[in-house]
Amino acid sequence: MSSEEENCATLARALRREYGFGDAACGFVDFFATPAPELEEQAVLAIQQALDAGNALSAGLEYGRLLQDYELMFWNTLADATL
């Protein structure tokens, strides 16, 4: 399990224990707490298909950075939220 998956699992447990959240309320966090070993294979395949279609690798790198930025915004929002 990656550190991100462990963090999500810890958050899901805390939401259930401390705030009484149910499975439906924790579904989003549970999803990211679940290992997805096939994800790397799918990413490699998607990149190869894009390159084979003539797309530049730089566009994929930009999209990856954007995805990381959105994830960071999500976690920062949770950290800044007052419950």
Q: Alpha-carbon torsion 73, 78, 80, 81, what sign?
A: positive
The mean per-residue pLDDT over the stretch 29-35 comes to: 90
Q: How confident is the model at residue 73 (pLDDT cuts 50, 70, 90)?
A: very high
**Dist CA 55 CA 49 (whole Å):** 9
Q: Is the pLDDT of residue 83 over 90?
A: no
Predicted TM-score (pTM) of the model is 0.56
Q: What is the pLDDT of residue 37?
A: 81
Q: How confident is the prediction for the chain on average, in pLDDT?
A: 89
